[in-house]
Amino acid sequence: MARFVLSLHTPPSDHDTTQRIIKFANACVAQGHTVDAIFLYQNGVYHASEHFELASDELAIPMHWQQLADKGINLMLCITAAEKRGLNTSQTSVFSVAGLAEFAMIASDADKWIQFK
């Protein structure tokens, strides 16, 4: 089975890309593959913000991130991108704070790195 690393580069307002990465990660796990990490980068770091609100009829993004974390997927937040965007990196919900070097090491061990933009 394959080992995947995923990166998300778009904000929560991009529901299409958010749904694609969540569905892809769940499909990987369901088929017996491993998702070593999902890395939030560029505007994707806004997924870790506690300051966005979703309407009740929108995709429940935080719930989906929690479900992926419950499956053992390492959810990582790029500290540099988060700090550039003014996010509080001490409150990142289910995401662990990491640097690009740490992500690069994980990605180099994976079979596939897939970017969602």
40-94 pLDDT tens trace: 999 999 999 977 776 777 778 999 999 999 999 999 999 999 999 999 999 898 9
Q: Residue 93 has what pLDDT? A: 87
**pLDDT above 90 for 3:** yes
Q: Residue 60 has what pLDDT? A: 83
Ordered by where they begin, the domains of the chain are: 3-116 (3.40.1260.10)
Q: How many other CB atoms sit within 10 Å of the CB of residue 51?
A: 9
Q: Residue 32 has what pLDDT? A: 97
Q: Are 43 and 11 in contact (CB under 8 A)?
A: yes
Q: What pTM was computed for the model?
A: 0.94
Q: Residue 50 has what pLDDT? A: 78
Tokens of 85: 């965007």
